[in-house]
């Protein structure tokens, strides 16, 4: 197996070091053609990955001095933003986790969460 690391964007040296030394490992060996069946019997690693994404998203909210509306919690917001199809795809969750670890409050997920929260607050 090729252990080559391909990174897009403009990672800092500390980002690269983090990606090479991070000990969190997720088994995402499913294929796109079988994501429906995988989602129905989602391995515990995906729940752990989703928990990590929610925890990092909470940290990003604190970094931006924003708060969730009281009727929402972070797992609900993350599920709403990523969508059920995204939650069911291990490769997308892994990419989302990597993005949030690299870019923190500038990750696409954090930015989308902020937009979502703005929309929630705007409607009420």
Q: Dump pLDDT digits (tens) for 34-47.
A: 444 444 555 568 88
10 Å CB burial of residue 53 (0-12, 13-18, 19+) is buried
Which residues 6+ apart lie within 8 Å of 23 measured at CB? none
10 Å CB burial of residue 107 (0-12, 13-18, 19+) is buried
10 Å CB burial of residue 100 (0-12, 13-18, 19+) is buried
pLDDT in tens, the chain (124 residues): 455 666 666 777 777 777 666 545 544 444 444 444 444 555 568 889 999 999 999 999 999 999 888 889 999 999 999 998 888 888 899 999 999 999 999 999 999 999 999 988 876 5
């Amino acid at each position: 197996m090729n252990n080559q690391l391909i990174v897009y964007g403009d990672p800092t040296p500390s980002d690269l070091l983090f990606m090479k030394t991070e000990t969190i490992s997720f088994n995402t060996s499913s294929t796109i053609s079988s994501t429906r069946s995988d989602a129905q019997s989602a391995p515990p690693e995906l729940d752990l990955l989703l928990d990590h994404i929610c925890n990092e998203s909470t940290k990003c909210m604190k970094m931006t001095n924003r708060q969730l509306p009281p009727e929402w919690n972070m797992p609900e917001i993350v599920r709403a933003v990523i969508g059920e199809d995204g939650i069911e795809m291990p490769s997308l969750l892994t990419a989302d986790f990597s993005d949030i670890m690299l870019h923190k409050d500038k990750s696409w997920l954090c930015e989308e969460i902020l937009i979502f929260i703005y929309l929630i607050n705007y409607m009420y």
